[in-house]
Structures are given as structure tokens and as C-alpha cells.
Amino acid sequence: MKNRTIKVDYLARVEGEGALLIKTKSGQVSDVKLRIFEPPRFFEAFLRGRKYSEAPDITARICGICSVAYQMSSVHAMENAFGITVNGQLRELRRLLYCGEWIESHALHIYFLHAPDFLGYDDAIQLAKDYPNVVQKALQLKKAGNDIVALLGGREIHPINVKVGGFYRVPTRRELAPLAEKLKWARDAAVETVKFTAGLPFMEFEQDYEFIALRHTSEYPMNEGKLVSNRGLDIGIRDYEFYFEESHVQHSNALHSTMKQKGAYFVGPLARFNLNFDRLSEIAQSAAKDVGFVPEIRNPFKGIVVRAIEVVYACEEALRIVESYEEPTAAAVEVVPRAGFGFGCTEAPRGILYHRYRIGDDGLIKDAKIVPPTAQNLGTIENDLRGFVAANIDMPKDWLTLRCEQAVRNYDPCISCATHFLKLDIEGS
Amino acid sequence: MEEPAGKMTSERIRVRLVGVGNEYRGDDAAGLIVAREIRRRDIPGLEVWEAGGGTEITEQIDGAEAVIIVDAVVSGAEAGTLVRFDAAAGRLPGFFVNCSTHAISVADGVELARVLGKLPRRCIVYGIEGREFEPGLPLSGEVKRAAEEAAELIEREIRAMSAM
């Protein structure tokens, strides 16, 4: 059997820059390297010496798609360090903001980045030529999320209204009210999206993953919870670094995160869904069941359907918060900084986002650690590619190359918000 | 996003300026710097918006009568080189694709608007050739000067457009 190399020099529709190289030798996969040219931890260094209060706005710049997630993990970590709890309507507003981000990020990925793969289009522009109404609806769905983020965050990207302790300004009931109609429409559009995505042609491919997600006592997880897995992990977030470690791999600037003594694991929508199905709302659960989606889903290509189910949930949850909103008496709780460590872990659209800070008694950040979801999925993406190429080794190279790109996009990787030159190579020795 | 308040005289065309970029990534901030400079000039009837990348472009140009977009580009030209395209006349060149910081580039965002019949009648895109895009770098000297020049050109174009 021939030796081959699958090589994609420019992997489009993935955030950030990187390249993929897969080598086969005598019909076996000999090497898989997802090279990420992510600028090494600039932001962690940049945070040192800055005021604790600057962390939400600085970390929001790490990603234009999931800036709310960065803000949420950072404010929770700071509040954890200072012994503050944010409850009531302020907590609800944070959840609403997060719903907005899930809606916009998932809608973008489902329709603009991932659906073209399934339907055989190069990109969303080509898709829009044949399905203008679908793309038009997708834009409107995404906009429902944008509208939440713009209203609560002060603007659509890199929101600036979030602070440690709460918000700079909270909306009035009257300001939030117009979101309700949009969210009802969006919820229905999301239910249609579940049907649309479930009708896509899926590759037969399953792997045996360790799924990891937050789990909350009563909610589908966003801001809070314990870290659990389908293989018995059950820890508080402050123990994260006892169980997980980051290592530098030679072929990539991005650090790979692994479970100590265990290896790769899976974070993101599929992990949340499999571990928290019982916490989804009734409508989201029935939308899932209607298309035959119940845990445990182990085909990563089906993540697109799970994202759609999460959009249903996020629209419904946002609607619940909007309709029951009472303006809080203060926009934020009082914050008195003190020296110590703070831990934050929230569910970004792509999976758990861990922040840990050390704060000095002057309120300045002495040390920061940020582990984004994509760094945690990199090992799993490589494992998927290894398994997928091995199972399809006889398929034509062009077909295999496209499917490998699709397999990377299953994870909606947000590699960095750098110039996006993601390159993919499949190479024979 | 709510539209900024401001009274318009009925004969003026309302122009929307969209600056694109990431201010923490060297020359990628060029589009934002230009937009902020023009915002300071307080041109009557002008809306100034900011975007992180092409992802938001399709939505941000929707419904506008006339749009000017400004973004950093990488085409291989000398840093600080200014280019101007009439997007209404045809597809934008690929180098917007390669320098985009986001999943959908400005060129793709504009193209998507065109396919969906949402491209404003007037849509001009300015590109400023960048040199360095590493996080944490300041704007390079060439791009800083080019941004000043671009602000002058764009202000003139906005005033001409809105008087049309």
C-alpha cells in the first residue's frame, strides 16, 4: 500500500492560525500533527502587574467570538479570591449574557463554518447562493445573541460592561423587554436548526472519550459547577491543576492540556450534553429526543446537532431571565481586594475555560494562568484524526483531506484570534 | 446594536463607517485607529461602528445607505500602503482573506451580503498594509502614518458621499 501525506496548507473556517500534517506509511497512520502557531501565552504575561479589575476587559480581547467567556471566568476567579458571591438578578444577568454568547457563537459555527462541510460547499457564501433563506435565518438567529450581548455588554464584541462584582450598569426592565419577542422567534428557529442539522449526512465514526464538563446542582452549566466526567471525575474547580496539566509539544506553539496519567479528554457541547442532559429544559430535551439524540453521543461529527440543541436551551433560558427580571438595587456588589488565589471555570461555547490568578495585597495580579477549551481538545482532535484516517485509509486523498478539515472543525477550534493561516498537510513518506 | 442618536437633514445620505481589527495585535488595529480618529471629528450624520472581523460585517452593513469599511491587509506591498476598493463594483481581492483575524474575513462578510442582496448601494473598502500582527505590539510607524493619511482621505470621501 502506498505511503501518503495529507497536507492542508490553509484550513479555512477555523479561528486562528495553524496547520495539519498527517503521514501514512504502508497503510498505517504514522504521524498526526496539528500545528498551532498560537502566539504563546502573551496574555498571561500581559496580565502580570495589572489591577485585578482590568482582567475582564483584557482577557476579553483574547477572543472576539468568546469574549464573554473570558470575562466570566476572570470575574468568577477574582470574586473567588476576594470571598465574594454574586447572586440574585446580577447572577441572572451574567447568565443572560452568557446565553447571548452561546447563541451567537453556536449559530456562527453551525451555519457559517460547519454546515458547508456537510453539504459540500466551500464556504457560507456558496451555501447562501443555494440556500439564501437558511443563511438569512441563521444571521437573524445569530443576531438574537448579538442583541443580548450588545444590550448587556455595551457592545456586540468585546463587551465592556462586565466588572468584578457585577456590572457597571444594569438594564431596566423596559430595556430588556424587547428581547423577549426576538428570543421567542430565535427559540423556534433553533428548534428548526436542530431538525436541519440532524438531517445532515454524518460520517460513521465513534471514539471512546473521557467527556469533561461542569455540572451544577440544578442548571445546565454555564458559570458554575463541579468538574465531572463520564469516567468518575468529580472535583471542585480549584483542584483543576491537580488533575490536569499543560505540556508543550514541539510541533505547536499552543500548549496541549492533558489529564495527568490519563491523556486526552473532550470538552465542549458534546461533553456538556452527555453529562448534563437531565439539566436541559423540557423543550431542548424534546427537540433532542425528536431527532434521536440522547446521551451518550460519541460521534464528534454530530456535535453540530448538539450545538443546535444548546441554542434552543440558551434561547429558552434567556427568555426565562428576561421575563422574570427585576432591576437589582445595585449594579455590582462591593469588592474589597485581598491577597490570595482565585479560581474560575466557566463553560465557553467550546468547553471549559479555566482561569487562576494570584493577587497581591496591593490588588495587582502577580500571576495568571488561562487554559482555553481548544488547548484542552487538541489531543482529542489529533486522536480523532488518527482514528479517522486509519478507518478511511483507502479513500481518495482529496476526500480524506476535506473530511479531516471537517473533523478539526467538529471542535469549533478557537486557536487564537491571530491572522488565520491554518494549514493542513496529509503527507506520505 | 442601537443606532447612535443624531438629527439628520433629509437631503443628506447617512454614511456608516466600520473600523475592523484587534487593538492588541499590532498593525491589525489600523482599522480601529482610523475609525476612532474619524469619530473624534464629529462629522454630521456619520455613524461609526467597530468590528473585530468580517464575522460582524454582513450584519453591520445591512440597512446602511452608504458604507465605508477600513481594515488592515496583507498583500505583500510595503507596510503602510493604502488601497481602496469599490465593493459594489465587484469582489474584493483575497488578501483581505489572508489577513483576517476571524473566521469570516471582511471580504467574505461583504460577499455574503452581496449574495443575500444586502450590500449597500455604496460600499467602499479601504485597506492598510500591515507589517506586524503579533500580540502586544504597538502599531508600526508606517501603519501609524498611513492611518493618519487614511483618516484624511476617508473623511473627504464621507463628506462627498453624504452630500450626494
Task: Evaluate whether A128 touches A54 at the Cβ level (below 8 Å).
Answer: no
- Residue in A closest to B108 by C-alpha: A125
Pairing of strands A234-235, A226-229: antiparallel
Cell of A344: 474560575
Structure-model confidence comparison of residues A57 and A186, the more confident one: A186
Q: B111 in a domain, yes or no?
A: yes
SS3 A157: coil
Domains of chain A: 4-428 (1.10.645.10)
Cell of B31: 482599522
Mean pLDDT of A38-65: 82
Centroid of chain to Cα B22:
13
Residue A244 is which amino acid?
F
Short-list B18, B97, B25, CA closest to B58:
B18
Output the pLDDT for position A265. Answer: 97
Residue with cell 460585517: B57
Structure-model confidence comparison of residues A403 and A248, the more confident one: A403
Q: B84 in a domain, yes or no?
A: yes
Task: Evaluate whether A392 touches A384 at the Cβ level (below 8 Å).
Answer: no
Q: B90 in a domain, yes or no?
A: yes
Q: Which residues pair with A212 in a beta bridge?
A: A229
Largest CA distance in chain A: 72
**CATH code, domain with B37:** 3.40.50.1450
pLDDT tens by residue, B3-52: 444 444 446 788 999 999 888 778 989 999 999 999 999 999 899 998 87
Q: B83 in a domain, yes or no?
A: yes
* Cα of A200 to nearest chain B Cα, Å: 22
Inter-chain contact A125–B111, Cβ cutoff 8 Å? yes
User: Chain B contact for A417, CB < 8 A?
Assistant: yes
Confidence band, pLDDT 50/70/90 cuts, at residue A123:
confident
Mean pLDDT of A312-341: 97
Cell of A420: 488565520
Percent of chain B whose predicted confidence (pLDDT) is above 90? 52
Mean pLDDT of A61-77: 88
Give the Å distances, CA to CA, from A207 to A27, A98, A197, A290, A291: 20, 30, 21, 24, 21
Output the pLDDT for position A418. Answer: 34
The per-residue pLDDT of chain B, averaged, comes to 85
Q: B10 in a domain, yes or no?
A: no
Output the pLDDT for position A215. Answer: 98
Mean pLDDT of A287-315: 98
Question: What single string gives the DSSP state of each residue in B1-29?
Answer: -PPPP----TTSPPEEEEEE--TTSGGGG
Confidence band, pLDDT 50/70/90 cuts, at residue B103:
low
Structure-model confidence comparison of residues A244 and A159, the more confident one: A244
pLDDT tens by residue, A409-425: 899 877 643 333 334 45
Output the pLDDT for position A13. Answer: 42
Centroid of chain to Cα B156:
15
How far is Cα A169 from Cα A186, in angstroms, rounded to an integer? Answer: 26
Percent of chain B whose predicted confidence (pLDDT) is above 70? 87
Inter-chain contact A15–B1, Cβ cutoff 8 Å? no
Q: Who's near A353: CB < 8 A, 6+ residues apart?
A: A66, A69, A70, A73, A345, A346, A347, A370, A371, A372, A373
| Cβ neighbours of A14 in B, within 8 Å | 103
Which domain does B40 fall in, by range?
15-162
Question: What single string gives the DSSP state of each residue in A272-286?
Answer: HHHHHGGGS-HHHHH
ipTM above 0.90, yes or no: no
Q: B64 in a domain, yes or no?
A: yes
Task: Evaluate whether A104 touches A147 at the Cβ level (below 8 Å).
Answer: no
Our count of domains for chain B comes to: 1
- Residue in A closest to B97 by C-alpha: A420
How far is Cα B5 from Cα B19, in angstroms, rounded to an integer? Answer: 19
Q: Which residues pair with A166 in a beta bridge?
A: A163, A332
Short-list A162, A42, A147, CA closest to A94:
A162
Cβ neighbours of A148 (radius 10 Å): 31
Cβ neighbours of A333 (radius 10 Å): 16
pLDDT tens by residue, B47-79: 999 887 777 888 889 889 999 999 988 888 899
* Cα of B98 to nearest chain A Cα, Å: 7
Sheet holding A234-235, edge to edge: A212-215, A226-229, A234-235
B56, B58, B103: residue with CB nearest A13: B103
pLDDT tens by residue, A174-208: 999 999 999 999 999 999 999 999 999 999 999 99
